[in-house]
């Protein structure tokens, strides 16, 4: 099984632009550490930009209520930890324990996908799933390499799962590891340098392809995270008086408009705003089209509709001689130069990621040893200094350890387990045997 997985890793990685032999070397190393099947029960399933095109990917998109129902279904089926990540470029479920085949069935039910498109759903488990989760979190699996916005989306997904009672300690530890890895990579590498976010791509498109863009009237529909970031980018290049914010909640749009000194309109005025604007950026994240063919658009003026949503919120049938609809996939293709610069940072980012993966694996192993370490600590509380010293000497002799390594018995246990990861299982059994001989319970 490991050989098959390793072959797939190398074969698929070499086909990618961000292939790194350093990352493959690390996988070779960790793959042959002791098996942790009983503890390493993480899994992931879903689709991403690597699985299928936008028009197919959006069929798997899950809104807030759909995510809540799926979380509830999985918890009811006995899954210990579940996190659902539904973004522009991926809809994936990360989980712990339970039957992966059953999770797959529930995922397809939640998305409503029952035809041949289900073949695009990827599934990973155990170490492969943990490694993949961390790579997603730090932007190594993003359509825009190094996209640091993904970690905020993971935090939001975790908060949503926690609110619905769908996460416990193990998933929390993995999420925290991903946050630390992301922070270190952003600080110590240039993987996220240069503006390549969706918001930047929209602004870059307007600057590059809309004639006299600084004089155009621009409407930004949707004031969520992406909408606000887009607003920040746009205002670096266009006049405040040329920008109008539109949101379902007029109060939210008005509050943001006051901050940026731009105009605000309610969503009920959308058609009028579109008629008055030449560029419309849509970042609404709705389950259906925000702009469709029923929209009355005056002729005689060229218009650009830039759709930052998945599923798409601008009907592609709005394309005409005078109206151009630009989708997420088109925007993601305009950042090649920055991607080439970021590509050189992949090895350094992978080295940092591998360090955090290794730390997480250590934590997983030591979870197995925690009961015996706790028993030893409890036992030590009732002993005199002389008795503790004698017990420590017995331990050093039985394990063949240098007595100067550590003065504390529980510290000696940890050192013995950490010193040679490949022998973890053997050493843990040695410790269990010695503890039994000493009558420690």
In the predicted structure, residue 373 carries a pLDDT above the cut 60? yes
Share of the chain above pLDDT 70, in %: 80
Query: pLDDT class for 196, splitting at 50, 70, 90?
Result: low
Cross-sheet strand order for the sheet of 243-247 = 263-266, 243-247, 218-221, 279-282, 303-307, 323-326
Q: How large a percentage of the chain has pLDDT more than 90?
A: 45
For residue 69, the model assigns a pLDDT of: 96
pTM: 0.63
Topology of the domain covering 33-192: Beta Polymerase; domain 2 (3.30.460)
pLDDT at 245: 95
Q: What are the tens digits of pLDDT across the range 202-245?
A: 888 898 889 999 889 999 999 888 888 889 888 888 887 889 99
Q: Hey, which residues are catalytic here?
A: 88
pLDDT at residue 3, rounded to an integer? 41
d(CA 56, CA 289): 16
What's the average model confidence in pLDDT over 389-406? 64
- The rounded distance, in Å, linking the Cα atoms of 307 and 313 is 7
Residue 130 pLDDT > 70: yes
More confident residue, 3 or 369: 369
Distances (CA, A) of 83 to 79, 125, 166, 362: 11, 15, 8, 23
* Predicted local distance difference test score (pLDDT) of residue 43: 95
Q: What is the pLDDT of residue 222?
A: 92
Question: Over the stretch 39-75, which tens digit does the pLDDT of each residue have?
Answer: 568 999 999 999 998 888 889 999 999 999 999 999 9
To the nearest 5 percent, what fractions of the chain are helix, strand and coil?
55, 10, 30
**Contact present, 308 and 198 (Cβ < 8 Å):** yes
144 — pLDDT class (breaks 50, 70, 90): confident
pLDDT value for 221: 95
User: pLDDT grade, residue 422 (50/70/90)?
Assistant: low
The arithmetic mean of pLDDT across residues 388-409, rounded, is: 64
Higher pLDDT, 194 or 198: 198
Question: Tell me, what's the pLDDT at 399?
Answer: 65
Residue 123 pLDDT exceeds 90? yes
Mean pLDDT computed over 326-340: 74
**Could you check whether 33-192 and 198-334 share the same CATH topology?**
no
Q: Which residue has the higher pLDDT, 188 or 337?
A: 188
Domain range summary for the chain, segments of one domain joined by +: 33-192, 198-334, 370-437
Q: How remote is the C-alpha of 431 from its chain's centroid?
A: 38
pLDDT greater than 70 at residue 335: no
Look over the chain and give the mean of its residue pLDDT values, rounded to a whole number. Answer: 82
Question: Which tens digit of pLDDT belongs to each residue from 178-190?
Answer: 999 999 999 999 8
Find all residues with CB under 8 Å of 189, minimum gap 6, and list them.
Answer: 345, 348, 349, 352
As to burial, measured by CB atoms within 10 angstroms (0-12 exposed, 13-18 middle, 19+ buried), residue 384 is: exposed
pLDDT given for residue 371 in this prediction: 72
pLDDT at residue 146, rounded to an integer: 86
Q: How confident is the model at residue 310 (pLDDT cuts 50, 70, 90)?
A: confident
The pLDDT assigned to 19 comes to: 44
Range of lowest pLDDT (143-147, 269-273, 342-346) = 143-147
3-state secondary structure of 220: strand
CATH of 198-334, one of 3.30.9.10, 3.40.50.720, 3.90.420.10, 2.60.40.2890: 3.40.50.720
Given a contact cutoff of 8 angstroms between Cβ atoms, the answer to whether 133 and 174 are in contact is yes
Provide the 3-class DSSP secondary structure of residue 243: strand
């Amino acid at each position: 099984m490991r050989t098959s997985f390793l072959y797939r890793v190398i074969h698929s990685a070499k086909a990618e632009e961000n292939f790194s032999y350093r990352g493959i070397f690390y996988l070779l190393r960790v793959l042959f550490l002791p098996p942790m099947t009983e503890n390493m029960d993480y899994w992931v399933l879903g689709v991403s930009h690597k699985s299928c095109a936008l028009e197919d990917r959006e069929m798997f998109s899950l809104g807030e209520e759909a995510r809540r129902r799926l979380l509830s279904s999985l918890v009811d089926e006995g899954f210990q930890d579940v996190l659902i990540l539904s973004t522009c470029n991926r809809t994936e479920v990360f989980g712990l324990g339970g039957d992966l085949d059953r999770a797959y069935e529930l995922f397809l039910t939640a998305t409503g996908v029952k035809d041949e498109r289900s073949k695009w759903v990827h599934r990973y488990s155990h170490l492969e799933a943990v490694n993949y989760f961390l790579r997603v979190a730090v932007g190594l699996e993003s359509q825009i390499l190094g996209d640091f916005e993904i970690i905020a989306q993971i935090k939001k997904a975790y908060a949503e799962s926690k609110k619905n009672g769908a996460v416990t300690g193990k998933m929390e530890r993995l999420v925290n590891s991903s946050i630390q890895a992301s922070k270190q990579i952003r600080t110590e590498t240039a993987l996220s340098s240069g503006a390549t976010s969706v918001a930047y791509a929209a602004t870059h498109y307007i600057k590059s392809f809309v004639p006299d863009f600084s004089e155009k009237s621009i409407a930004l529909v949707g004031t969520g995270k992406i909408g606000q970031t887009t607003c920040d980018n746009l205002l670096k290049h266009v006049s405040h008086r040329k920008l109008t914010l539109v949101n379902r909640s007029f109060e939210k749009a008005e509050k943001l408009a006051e901050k940026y000194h731009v105009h605000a309109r309610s969503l009920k005025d959308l058609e009028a705003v579109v008629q008055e604007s030449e560029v419309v950026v849509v970042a609404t994240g709705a389950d259906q089209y925000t702009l469709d063919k029923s929209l009355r658009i005056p002729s005689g003026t060229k218009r650009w509709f830039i759709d930052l949503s998945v599923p798409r919120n601008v009907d592609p049938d709005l394309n005409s001689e005078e109206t151009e609809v630009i989708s997420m996939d088109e925007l993601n293709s305009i950042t090649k130069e920055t991607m080439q610069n970021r590509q050189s940072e992949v090895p350094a980012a992978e080295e940092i990621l591998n360090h955090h993966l290794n730390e997480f694996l250590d934590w997983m192993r030591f979870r197995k040893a925690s009961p015996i370490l706790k028993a030893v600590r409890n036992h030590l509380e009732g002993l005199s200094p002389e008795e503790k010293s004698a017990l420590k000497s017995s331990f050093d002799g039985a394990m063949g350890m240098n007595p100067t390594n550590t003065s504390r018995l529980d510290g000696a246990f940890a050192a013995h387990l950490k010193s040679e990861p490949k022998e973890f299982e053997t050493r843990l059994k040695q410790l269990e045997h010695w503890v039994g001989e000493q009558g420690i319970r």
